[in-house]
Amino acid sequence: GYFSMAMHIYDAQDIDSNDVLQFAVRADNSVSCETLNGIFPGLSSLKYKDPNTSAWTCVELANNNFEPPHGDTWHSDIIYIPVFPAPAPSIPIQATSSIPIQAASSIPIPDASSTPTTSVSIWAKTFAFEKINLLMVVAMSLVSMIIGTLQDFIKWHFADKATWLPWVVRGATIGILALVLNMILLYLWCKKR
């Protein structure tokens, strides 16, 4: 169980902070580290200024519980401050290259007024490939359009029939046929190039 004795813990590393929280302690006068970690994520310890020596002292942690530092009791006039682990030091990494880098030889660029330029079409600037076979693109589009029309015709023809199986089978067959024909056309086009 818990009882009403309060332990003061600052809500900041700053001792001059006015945000003081009060925690009820357990019957054995301990305070759960898990409870404090829920409020102060990453908390590693608690510290307080010992009234006898004026030195900063850490609260003992046993069985994942903070134990009272003075004779099994917490003092309400002592303020306990959360301690967090120090961040890992950053180590500057210096890049060392084992491969010597040599400057490339410069190529002189001729003056535009003295050199005739060839006209480059927008088509050549837009597409990365050198040449496109428009006949292949038109053929693939035409095959897809014809097969799509056949599928629509089959669906329309069998829409009023009692069974749906024939138009589904035929539609799927025509779809597969379209895929195969397009793949054959693509293969022939790639082989030609």
HEC states along 123-176? HHHHCCCCCCCHHHHHHHHHHHHHHHHHHHHHHHHHCCCCCCHHHHHHHHHHHH
Neighbours of 68 (CB within 10 A): 18
Annotated domain spans of the chain:
2-83, 128-192
Q: Angle formed by the axes of helices 165-192 and 134-158, to 10°?
A: 170
The pLDDT tens digits for 15-68 are 555 566 777 777 787 888 888 888 788 888 888 888 888 888 888 888 888 888
Average pLDDT score over residue span 61-86: 79
Which pTM was predicted?
0.39
56 Cβ contact partners less than 8 Å away, ≥ 6 residues apart: 47, 48, 49, 50
Average pLDDT score over residue span 70-85: 77
Say whether pLDDT at 190 is over 50: yes
8 Å CB contact between 69 and 25: no
42 Cβ contact partners less than 8 Å away, ≥ 6 residues apart: 84, 85
